[in-house]
Amino acid sequence: MKPLAGWLLATLMTGAAAQDYSATRARMTDEIAAMARATAGETGRTSFAARVMGALGKVERHRFVAVGDEAAAYRNRPLGIGNGQTISQPYIVALMTDLLDLTGSEKVLEVGTGSGYQAAVLAELAATVYSIEIVAPLGRLAAQRLAAAGYRNVITRIGDGYQGWPEAAPFDAIMVTAAARTVPPALIAQLKPGGKLVIPVGEQGSHQNLLVIAKTADGGTQSRRVLAVRFVPLTGGPDGREKAP
């Protein structure tokens, strides 16, 4: 017999999956495409790659939102997922994914699994995704959701993403889905030369910028500001500056 929690999750996800959200998902991708054009002056991208838009059109976001929020899953806005965390706005998911320029062969690190939705999008576009979450209940639930949705190329763990995932490094690309006060040195160290790190940086409740950091062949970095954003804070860290809830 399945444990009660697992049985309940499976039952709820089966019910959600039975709903046909294809039309609302298509409207969401249309809105993302329109926003990409509208923000091109800031991001430098008038459109997102067809592979990225295809992933957004395929991944069933309603599987990764809080129970009761399924009908709102394809609205282009963030949603609360519990424990003070959110699932990002679909446009931001698309933008951050597009900025990594994935081709399909990469090993990607995601810091901040959250609901598992961003990991699912990355899994459609990369060979392997390593995703780490510091909030244990969220990490466990995301792992169950990803498995139930059939994603076998996502490896999850509970831990401090500020430190990265040293034993799985180096990574072709790294994405951070929470705002750090400063760029974690461990993530730069674990990024391959030629790879990209996409990360929001700034104080909670203050100015935050989405950055793309490219690692050069000599181990240096080149950073570019993309967009002003607002993310929940990155938790963890070695010196107490990034505190876990």
For the stretch 142-201, pLDDT in tens is 999 999 999 999 999 999 999 999 999 999 999 999 999 999 999 999 999 999 999 999
The candidate with the shortest Cα–Cα distance to 100, out of 82, 121, 84, 114, is 121
The answer to whether residue 241 is domain-embedded is no
Its pTM surpasses 0.85: yes
Structure-block tokens of residue 29: 């991708």
Mean pLDDT of the region 78-101 = 95
Residue 170: is the preceding peptide bond cis (ω within 30°)? Answer: yes
Domain containing residue 28: 4-229
Structure-block tokens of residue 26: 């298509």
Q: How far is CA 179 from the centre of its chain?
A: 12
The answer to whether residue 44 is domain-embedded is yes
Quick one: pLDDT at residue 237?
74
pLDDT tens track for 55-79 = 999 999 999 999 999 999 999 999 9
Quick one: pLDDT at residue 238?
57
When comparing pLDDT for 236 and 106, which is higher?
A: 106
- Total number of domains constituting the chain: 1
The answer to whether residue 173 is domain-embedded is yes
First to last CA, the chain: 34
Paired with 179 in beta bridges are 233
CATH number at residue 80: 3.40.50.150
Instruction: Return d(Cα 192, Cα 171) in angstroms, integer.
Output: 6
List 22, 47, 88, 206, catalytic entry: 88
115 is catalytic: no
The answer to whether residue 61 is domain-embedded is yes
The candidate with the shortest Cα–Cα distance to 97, out of 215, 229, 196, is 196
- Asked if the model's pLDDT at residue 30 lies above 90, the reply is yes
- Asked if the model's pLDDT at residue 51 lies above 70, the reply is yes
